[in-house]
Amino acid sequence: MLKLPVRRPASVTSSPTSGKMTGASNSYEMPPMMKQNALVALGICCIGFMLWFGFSQLTSLFSTGQLFGRTHGTAGPSYFSMITYESDPLNFLAALGTAAVMTVFGLYFAVKLLLRIRQLRGR
């Protein structure tokens, strides 16, 4: 049966080491299962963003030959636009490397998360 923690008033809490009643702070510690679920949810969001960004950039590259990257002039501010290898080779390679790394890390973390979920279900 699932036991939820009970929040006690500060005057009624007891010290875990001495067993005596103390005036502890009014802090609340999240149960381990809730922490784990929150971390999994955050991980899924981060993995989804990394995969979306990487795959969208690579799809754009393979369909049009351009990547969405940051360019700037010598005197003006920087701005985002579609770049090709011919127009800006350095920024193009940086954008391509970023997209590839984000895709690889997204896939790696997705596989690790699925293996972790499989391991937890097997207990």
Q: Per-residue pLDDT for 73 more than 60?
A: yes
pLDDT value of position 81:
83
Residue 76 to residue 59: CA distance in whole angstroms: 30
First-last CA distance in the chain: 16
- Write down the domain spans for the chain: 64-123
Other beta carbons within 10 Å of 31 = 12
Percent of the chain with pLDDT over 70: 75
pLDDT bracket for residue 123 (50, 70, 90): low
Other beta carbons within 10 Å of 95 = 20
> Is the dihedral angle over the CA atoms 80, 83, 86, 88 positive or is it negative?
positive
pLDDT bracket for residue 88 (50, 70, 90): confident
The winner for highest mean pLDDT among 19-23, 45-49, 67-71, 80-84 is 45-49
